[in-house]
A and B are shown apart, each in its own frame.
Chain A
Amino acid sequence: MTLIKLNRADDAENIFKYIEGIYVDFFSNMHLPELPVYQALAKIRLGKGEEGIAYCRKFRDEWAAARVRKDSGYFNTTPFFISYLDDAKTMREAYYDRLINFADSVINGTTELL
């Protein structure tokens, strides 16, 4: 975004392509959960608006489905010695609400990142 403002659209395009191509597998819980939204934004920036929105909607739907799953213990794990345990349902809903809201802001065109 900043490079575009600096009239360096080609450099910006390379970054958007890079973001679009990133892959994260299941293992790491240290990755960026909202990566798909940034990938959708990158697609839109690359002129693939419909594809970007569809991509974002796909993940939004997955997150909406994941939001209402019933946990079998804890919502997530931590590598730290944390004794303060939260209610799994509350944690799950908060986690997915944040992602869904971010996705919605792209789908609805309200984010400043567009």
Chain B
Amino acid sequence: MAFGNGTIIAEREKIVIPTYPESPCEELPMFAENRVHQRSTGNPYPNKVVIKTRQKEKIDKEYEAIRLENEYLELIILPEIGGRIFSAKDKRTGYDFFYRQHVIKPALIGALGSWISGGVEFNWPYHHRPSTFMPVDSEIVKDGDGYTVWLSEHDPIDRMKGMVGIHLEPGKAYFETRMKVSNRTSMRHSFLWWENTAVPVNPEYEIFFPPDVDYVNFHYRRSHTTYPIANGMFNGYRYPDEGVDIRKHFNTKFSTSYFSADSDYDFFGGYDNGKKCGVVHVSDHHTSTGKKMFTWAYNQLSQSWERALTDTDGAYAELMAGSYSNNQPDFSWLEPYETKNFSQYWFPISEIGIPTYANLSAAVNVSDGKIKLQTTEKVKNAKLVLEIGGKNVISKKITLEPGEVAEIELPAVDLSEYRIALEGVFEYEKKNRVKNPLPPFFPEVPMPNEESSAYRAYQDGIHLMQFRDPSMDCRKYFERAIELDPEFAPAYETLGECAINDGNFELAEELLNKCIEVTNRLNTEHQSGRAYYLRGLAKKQLGKDHEAEWNFRKAAWSADSVSCGMTEAARIGAKKKDFKIGLFCAETALNYAKENPVAGPIAALCDYKLGNKSAARDRLYAILDNDPLNHLARYALFICGGKMTEKDFYGKLASDPSQTCLDVYVDLLSAGFADEAYQLLADLPVYCTEKLAPVVAYIIGKPELADPMHRTFPTRPEEKNVLVGRSEEYAKYLLGCLEFAHRRYDNAYKLWCECTNFEAARCRAVYLWKMGKIDEAMAELDRAIAAAPDCDQLIYEKAYLLNHMGYDAKKTEEIIGSYVTDIKVARDDVCTEWAAAAIRAGDYEKALWILNNHEYIPCEGGETIIAKQHINAHLGMGIDFYNNGEYSRALDELRIAQVIPDNLGAGLWHEDPLVPSKYR
């Protein structure tokens, strides 16, 4: 198709991509309270997880893609796989400026299991987005002269709404990602946003950070080194004394991440010196502070992962751009009903080389006696000036088409300080400056009993909460703060907040009463309305609507709590059928936060009930103009008789329709629209073919439709209300899961004891183990295995526990072996535990037989565990030979220990696991 005169393509199309199918998810709930996923909690509840890969079978699979294309760029987007950009091509050069996969090959890196590399992954609310391999909702919208492809979800952990709009305009050789992240829940949550672009790397590839970046950090800012020449220690490795230029990809020999120091510039990127093509990222450095490269580098680990993630597309690195975050972990808050809007931009470059400076309009390279520049929009007769010492060295008119490269020869001049400007396009001044020193390391958090002041204990608790720490419980820090100062009100407030999150509303009310009592000593009008707001939430859940309303309205005396307080007050007003009050409260909320994602639809519903039907619909159309995938607004439009049929409504739900509808159901129910809420769920199985979450089936009175294969477990208080008192065994089991996940362990156990299914037996084992009743736990696990002998997860859990508890090694080896009928198809983790048991038993030959006859696929965090079995087996053999005086044979074994075979899919992040074999 010929492009020009504003032509742009934005359309859905079918594409076929060779695909290794995703394994079915594990049916058992994972209560992995201390699981870590890239330094934040990786607890998957309420989601099921994928634990296996299927890398033996490949099929051609058809995907619905969205093509977004103008004269210069061609983007292919995959709503079915997390809404990622699958490919991005610079049409002038033919260069895929992001790593272009030719296969979908999921491996176990994601928060919930499956993950693929390539293109652009939009990561939120933490690290690799939990929904990275799940469908998102999508909408193509004509937007000015261009188009925006909106990709939206309610995230599967916190139920916040994350949406990115990929925007392309004619005549521009860049694309924009427009983010609209909304906390549509009543509780605050922390979040980060990182655009994770894969770039194709080779020894010629080079990254570039802005000119004021003098150092880079590692994760958690507990290691750093100078940039661009790295010195000293970084992430466990010592650079040579002469330093290493870490801009050059080839110079990084071990898998690592470089997070750039904060910069006053808006750009960074990567460039392939061999292909003379690259990519530039531009975004406001005040909010997009994160600039990062991650690489697998060049070693066995990188080769293992390359095999696991692609067939033929080779190595990649990740150029990651963070908004509201400059590290991983590093989180910001999204308050209840808050919406944040921000943008990032990407564009390809070609022969200009490594940019000295870039903005959204251009990239320029001033080096080697030349100026090379490239613009992203047409530039006509713009004046280019290079000024040194107050004198114009270059002054000429430039005309450029987007992507065209201008090259200007420079006279022999000193380029240590200069100013360069292209009229109306960019201006950059290079100055000599003092380098920024390396900052102090991020401090360690002491244990709660080591805290010496209430405020420090409280502050550390907030840090853990905000960073979603997987190992330390923030509650203990708030408790410590109260221990140190029994009138430390902020600690009561956050403990109350935690209690609400845990579903312990009586406790929350008590704690918040104490907080308000202490704070009210002199002022009943607080600096912040948070305590009243939270107490309102607790009271609402306890059915004390009148008191809740009072607290919400009181909270709204303070500017920080108007939006959330008045949204909740609006719900109560509507629930009382006082739609005037409902409308007033919702509009007040909107006056303080115009993109409050819930208040707007509630205002419309109140308007509608007051008879202002046209105004209600107009209000909803306006909301949907701004966010076409606000599903509460969409369903409200259906209720209000607007242009929205049931088919329209349900037809857009790709991101877990059951869960999305449950979110909207809760919104409607809490505002008193019980009939409409019920109808929303009742129509779901009529219009959607996806599996139905069991709670939805119970609500609509069709328990036979409860699909145990649905990917989620119940978690909301409203789901608990549905399950309590139900007689079905499955409902009791699910309620037990909800209770356990919310730390009400005894309640869970009692419920599971009423169940006969094998899943409940296994969950009882989990409970009993936690209570230290090891023998009883193992007996329950055996009952579960007897009832479901083919359940791989049960076998793995038994194998893990036997090794973990140090059960008789020989017997452990035999027990695990008895479950493995075919080593080729057994699960990787089962084989790993089997080999570990054999090593414990001194049966090294058997361990090596296991390791050599099973083909492992790496999983994040598991690479070293598998490698260690190989190391330990050969180390054990080496020690035996040594003790027998057979030193040559011992040496052979100890050397083999240090070479990890490819079939293990393994590798080492550090070399020190090899130390025992080296020492021996």
Contact = CB atoms under 8 A, between A and B. Distances in A.
Interface string B212-245: 0000001110110000000001011110000000
B887 A70 contact: no
Contacts of B472: 72-74
A110 interface: no
A79 B476 CA distance: 23
A24 B910 contact: yes
Contacts of B910: 24, 28, 30-31
Contacts of A82: 32, 34-35, 800
Q: Helix, strand, loop or mixed for chain B's interface?
A: mixed
B919 A32 contact: no
Interface string A10-49: 0000011011011111111011100100100110000000
A19 B918 contact: yes
Given A19-B915, A32-B916, A74 B31 contact: no
Contacts of B31: 83, 85
A83 B919 contact: no
Interface residues of A, number: 44
Contact of A2 (B34, B220, B916, B920): B920
A27 B918 contact: no
A26 B910 CA distance: 12
Contacts of A83: 29-32, 766, 797
A98 to B, nearest CB: 11
**Residue among A23, A28, A73, A81 facing the most chain B CB atoms (10 A cut-off):** A81
B581 interface: no
A65 B769 CA distance: 28
Interface string A57-85: 00000000000011111111111111111
B42 interface: yes
Interface string B852-893: 000000011110100000000000001000100001101100
Nearest to A29: B36
Contacts, number: 158
B34 A85 contact: yes
A80 B878 contact: no
B919 A15 contact: yes
B912 A1 contact: no
Interface string B734-778: 000000000000000000000000000000011001101000010
A76 B34 contact: yes
Given A1-B920, A38-B919, A81 B51 contact: yes
Nearest to A6: B887
Nearest to B238: A23
Contact of A25 (B222, B894, B916): B222
A2 B471 contact: no
B770 A85 contact: yes
Interface in B812-843: 829
Contacts of B518: none
B35 A69 contact: no
A60 B862 CA distance: 29
A78 B920 CA distance: 29
A71 B476 CA distance: 10
Contacts of B42: 79
Given A6-B887, A77-B36, A27 B223 contact: yes
Contact of B918 (A15, A31, A70, A75): A15
B45 to A, nearest CB: 10
A113 interface: yes
B859 to A, nearest CB: 8
Contact of B471 (A19, A32, A74): A74
B448 A70 contact: yes
B30 A73 contact: no
Contacts of B890: 2
Nearest to A8: B891
Contacts of A25: 218, 222-223, 233, 235-236
Interface string B710-738: 00000000000000000000000000000
Given A6-B888, A26-B222, A42-B919, A79 B861 contact: yes
A103 B72 CA distance: 64
Nearest to A30: B864
A66 to B, nearest CB: 10
B348 interface: no
B449 interface: yes
Nearest to A7: B887
B33 A74 contact: yes
B32 A31 contact: no
B447 interface: yes
B862 A79 contact: yes
Given A23-B238, A27-B218, A72-B448, A78 B32 contact: yes
A9 interface: no
Contacts of A31: 236, 910, 912-913
Given A25-B233, A35-B915, A81-B30, A76 B797 contact: no
B533 interface: no
B49 A81 contact: yes
Nearest to B232: A23
A78 B800 CA distance: 13
B244 to A, nearest CB: 16
A23 B206 CA distance: 27
Given A27-B223, A70-B449, A72-B477, A78 B878 contact: no
Contacts of B859: 79
Contact of B35 (A23, A28, A77): A77
A74 B912 CA distance: 25
Interface in A78-94: 78-87
Contacts of A79: 35-37, 42, 859-862
B766 A80 contact: no
Contact of B772 (A2, A19, A72, A87): A87
Contacts of A41: 919
A3 interface: yes
A6 B892 CA distance: 12
A31 to B, nearest CB: 5
B369 to A, nearest CB: 42
B96 to A, nearest CB: 31
Nearest to B860: A79
B97 interface: no
Contacts of A18: 918
A15 B450 CA distance: 40
Nearest to B893: A2
A28 B910 CA distance: 8
A21 B449 CA distance: 35
B44 interface: yes
B412 to A, nearest CB: 45
A27 B235 contact: yes
B915 A38 contact: yes
B167 to A, nearest CB: 37
**Residue among B238, B908, B919 facing the most chain A CB atoms (10 A cut-off):** B919
Contact of B447 (A3, A30, A69): A69
Contacts of A1: 882, 919-920
B470 interface: yes
B336 to A, nearest CB: 26
A41 B916 CA distance: 11
15 contacts: A2-B882, A6-B887, A15-B918, A23-B233, A25-B218, A25-B235, A27-B219, A32-B912, A42-B919, A69-B447, A70-B447, A73-B471, A82-B32, A83-B31, A85-B769
Interface of A: 1-3, 5-6, 15-16, 18-19, 21-28, 30-32, 35, 38, 41-42, 69-87, 113
Given A2-B894, A70-B447, A79-B37, 9 more contacts: A22-B911, A22-B915, A25-B235, A32-B913, A72-B447, A73-B476, A76-B34, A80-B861, A85-B769
Interface of B: 26, 29-37, 42, 44, 49, 51, 218-220, 222-223, 233, 235-238, 447-450, 470-473, 476-477, 765-766, 769-770, 772, 777, 797, 800-801, 804, 829, 859-862, 864, 878, 882, 887-888, 890-891, 894, 908-913, 915-916, 918-920
Q: Which 7 A-B pairs give the minimum distances between C-beta atoms?
A: A79-B861, A73-B473, A77-B36, A74-B34, A81-B30, A30-B864, A32-B912
